[in-house]
Structure 1
């Protein structure tokens, strides 16, 4: 199969879906009101609640939900063949993920910009709120700690990305000052800021930064500490100072990177060297249900409901902006995941250097994906995408060193966006939990942020100075993240039922995701028990019980509504 045909078909499908199914959901199901006042206006505080132009907010929203998720998931799922991963990305993003993100944002817009976990107490009952908040806290705890490791690993593997990623911060602050203080055009100055950022990429390509070990701390461990300090500062600043302008630059970067990748596909149009289906990959678990927790971002991801209801809803200017941001943002992420499939399944066939030998075609793919063990490592996932993407973009005549740096910055920048957005979200969750427990002092901005960052730091260094302690809980992350998505759909479904609106469009994705994640969690628990991984087993068992309890509460409410 030619990669150009796959990319074109996916793009057409997403455009059609947005203008048909997305428009139907906005008008008939969620009943978007262009005259409704949003929380950004009614609760304006200049820090978190700030009415924002939808193009700027789209940049923040998309870069927050994307991160490295649509890269690492597809980059490993392709081991089962490109067709299963591609079908799940297309179907999941259109019928599940985009519905989940859009619905979460609409509920929050109608409930004062509160997070969906907090709102669950009003929609279902207070017990569900407590259960949901515990699951969200655990999920964000993992996200903050793990994404700190992800970015640190990118800096270690691609030291050329260090200077561009860190210099993006003063450029973003300058952009925010010019737009919000001086009233300059966000488009004009956004383009200028992006040009400046690309100049730093040229600088980084020839000035890589490698950190030495410091005592018991590895280079990755040092980066994790620095990144969590950055996350603390970034998540406590007003969104207009750093978060919005930095994400706006990243949105331009995304458009340019995706354009380069698509042009690379057009010029090189490499054939898919990955198998169509490979259900017997060495050491790989069963395709079903593991595929549905391996590919999250790009299809459906529970983390997105926290962004939609946690930060984006607080900055949304009009309800009519929710469809392009919530529904459209998920479709664009799905397109990014399709490009990742092509990079790993076709681009890598243009050349893979390993142990001094250059492999091409099917042999290159087989070297990268020899077994589940060789493909599932963090470095292997990132390397598979960066190598394949660089091969395709290099076909445009760009220097390979610059392209590799560009792709490394692309991965690190998006992971950094997820890191500080997740830290800000964890602050909200800690504040909501503290207020529910009548401890308002801990719910204030700095105490809540300190709890968010310090707990992630403790997890990161639980294994020692390498800062990779969070990776011990990585096997739980996929299932917990997808469970969060299923439970968010449960809350949305109950909300729609109370409004006497057809619930089938959220109920079917809800049942599917809860069933798949419960099945996957059961498989994980059996594996954890067999290998005496008692920490993973204990945490997984507790989360499974919380899930069962919350689902039971939701079903009871739905049955009562049906009987009325």
Structure 2
């Protein structure tokens, strides 16, 4: 009976989020923001088919959601469970309903009623020019940090999970293809996007079973000398081939980061209908499929007795059990979980890209309030994966690159032993919190294994989901940075 707590937590959280959309969200729409579906939106007023493009609510929902989500609702909750699953869960559910979703909704409406301008531009008109300059400089600095962090996160995923590289990169030309097909040809987006999603999952299988793509350090031992080089390799260990040798760089993560920065520059200047909209739409379906699989795996694992939230992780971890130098829960819980509860970055997406594409004000609640609640649902799944999922078994990577559950004294390491070992509660905080994405990938793969998916394939599916979501945020953040630079240039 105790294991049912895991499933009840998930169902209860999802019901609370859904109920909030149809009650509190509608109240905000009617009585606070006074939404007017007949008002002309900036996407029509200023249409240029590059940034200002009237877009169907389903498509802009996909763009907005994947842009605000990224790895934020994954990394934050995955770290916050250090303090226990209950505080993280409460902040995600109530924070997203009463703080984050309201903030996103309001930012979108304000921008739409001000010709799709960013918060910095609006501040300049409402307050004064100095406030505008201050806002824009803060936004420039914040977006620079976002670009650096998300680029590094994706680069680390590529370095740690080479099976994801093929599927992530193949999604880009596929998105461009369906963008041209639907926009130039006037076709519907749903069917081709589902076909592309199937091809992405096929690429995950190929990447896992046949063609992982690795950047391997080939010289130097410290990774700190610019004379070090890396090799680009493809294939499994027994059939690995070197495609390019002796690339000058520091290490594989730096190599991938450089490639990603070049990519996102070009992505930021393309018309939104070519890459941004179709790829985000594909990724939104990828999330829905992944959530369905994770929920099915969670339910199966609960009823089979493999997943148990209560026996895996304390509801609230006592201070004496935390790693050395762990910061206090208050206020750091609210800083750690930003995306998934409330994030200021979301106002940049609402006022930067989304307000220029929403067809009319009547779609604002669906796009902004609904996206934030769905992000909260994703954060709930992450919390469960990093607790009950990790408790299903501690991962060990074998020599052939495949995964298995670690064994000690002829017994698999599961439950709280697995969770404490994975989170290294006996180590320093800085070391313990070093790989939150890995905890979600492993916990999620354990859930998927409950419905028959091999661990190695489950790892590929979850890691690809994380990388694709981070890439959409990277795209949008680069485009937002372009807007900010344009507005800064107009200051002088």
Q: Same fold (TM over 0.5)?
A: yes
Cα pair 1:368 1:374 within 8 Å, conserved: no
Deviations 1:272-330 (A, max 9, x none): 11110014112210111111110000000111000011000000001011001100100
Distance in 2, matches of 1:259 and 1:230, equals: 31
Q: SS in structure 1 opposite 2:215? A: coil
Cα pair 2:395 2:442 within 8 Å, conserved: no
Greater RCO structure (CA 8 Å; 6+ sep): 2
Q: Which is richer in strand?
A: 2
Pair 1:373 & 2:430 matched = yes
Cα pair 1:76 1:375 within 8 Å, conserved: no
> What residue in structure 1 maps to residue 446 of structure 2?
391
> What residue in structure 2 maps to residue 182 of structure 1?
185
Distance in 2, matches of 1:336 and 1:23, equals: 22
> What residue in structure 2 maps to residue 54 of structure 1?
57
Cα pair 2:323 2:432 within 8 Å, conserved: no
> What residue in structure 1 maps to residue 80 of structure 2?
77
Displacement of 1:193 after TM fit?
Answer: 1.4
Distance in 1, matches of 2:395 and 2:112, equals: 50
Pair 1:361 & 2:415 matched = yes
Pair 1:350 & 2:392 matched = yes
Among 338, 344, 355, which residue is 1:302 paired with? 344
Q: SS in structure 2 opposite 1:346? A: helix
TM-score in terms of structure 2 length: 0.87
TM-score in terms of structure 1 length: 0.76
Residues 124-523 of structure 1: matches in 2 within 5 Å?
124-206=127-209, 207-212=211-216, 213=230, 214-269=247-302, 270-272=307-309, 273-280=312-319, 281-283=322-324, 284-354=326-396, 357=407, 358-371=412-425, 372-377=429-434, 380-437=435-492
Moved over 3 A (4+): 354-358
Structure 1 runs not aligned, ≥5 long? 438-564
Displacement of 1:125 after TM fit?
Answer: 2.9
Distance in 2, matches of 1:114 and 1:432, equals: 10
Q: Which is richer in helix?
A: 1
Displacement of 1:266 after TM fit?
Answer: 1.1
Distance in 2, matches of 1:354 and 1:229, equals: 34
Displacement of 1:132 after TM fit?
Answer: 1.6
Q: SS in structure 1 opposite 2:474? A: helix
Q: SS in structure 2 opposite 1:211? A: strand
Distance in 1, matches of 2:167 and 2:385, equals: 23
Distance in 1, matches of 2:61 and 2:248, equals: 43
Structure 2 runs not aligned, ≥5 long? 217-229, 231-246, 398-405
> What residue in structure 2 maps to residue 504 of structure 1?
none
RMSD: 1.2
Distance in 1, matches of 2:318 and 2:331, equals: 13
